[in-house]
């Protein structure tokens, strides 16, 4: 069953702690993305990766970090430097940068 998995679905952390969100795809896609979805603001791009061992900052990268050591995995770390981390985070993948993106179910992060 091909697709994108994100875990966990809900995540709670204390302020000041780093937290890593998981994203795995078995679609054999080269490109992967992380978005943040806030009410009334749509999806905003955090980071994206065209290929293994390479990634680029999106529009709101401050306070986040990523790695792309394997084609199928693109974990996102929300660091303590992120001023407003409570949000819904979506991971996506596509065959190429301009191709249709396929989305995971999302992780809702709440920082207390």
Partner 1 sequence: AQSVSQHNHHVILSEAASLELGCNYSYGGTVNLFWYVQYPGQHLQLLLKYFSGDPLVKGIKGFEAEFIKSKFSFNLRKPSVQWSDTAEYFCAVNYNFNKFYFGSGTKLNVKP
Binding site for partner 1 (CB under 8 A): 33, 35, 40-45, 48, 58-59, 90, 92, 96-98, 100-101, 103-106
Residue closer to partner 1 by CB (options 3, 18) is 3
CA distance 110 to 76: 15
Ramachandran quadrant class, 95 (left: phi over 0; alpha: psi -120 to 50; beta: rest):
alpha
Distance of closest approach, residue 103 Cβ to partner 1, in angstroms: 4
DSSP per residue, 45-99: EEEEEEETTEEEE-TT-TTEEE--SBTTB--EEE-TT-S---EEEEEEEESSTTS
Residue 65 CB, shortest distance to partner 1, in Å, is 19
Looking at beta carbons only, is 6 or 82 nearer to partner 1? 6
* Residue placing its CB nearer to partner 1 in the complex, 18 or 51: 51
Q: Give me the least distance between CB of 89 and partner 1, in Å please.
A: 13
């Amino acid at each position: 069953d091909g697709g994108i998995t994100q875990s966990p679905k809900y995540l709670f952390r204390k302020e000041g702690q780093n937290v890593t969100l998981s994203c795995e795809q078995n679609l054999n896609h080269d490109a992967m993305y992380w978005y943040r979805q806030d009410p009334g603001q749509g999806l905003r791009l955090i980071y994206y990766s065209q290929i293994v061992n390479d990634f680029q900052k999106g529009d709101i990268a401050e306070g986040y970090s990523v790695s792309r050591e394997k084609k199928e995995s693109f974990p996102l770390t929300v660091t303590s430097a992120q001023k407003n981390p409570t949000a819904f985070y979506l991971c996506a993948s596509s065959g190429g940068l301009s191709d249709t993106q396929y989305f995971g179910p999302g992780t809702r992060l709440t920082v207390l």
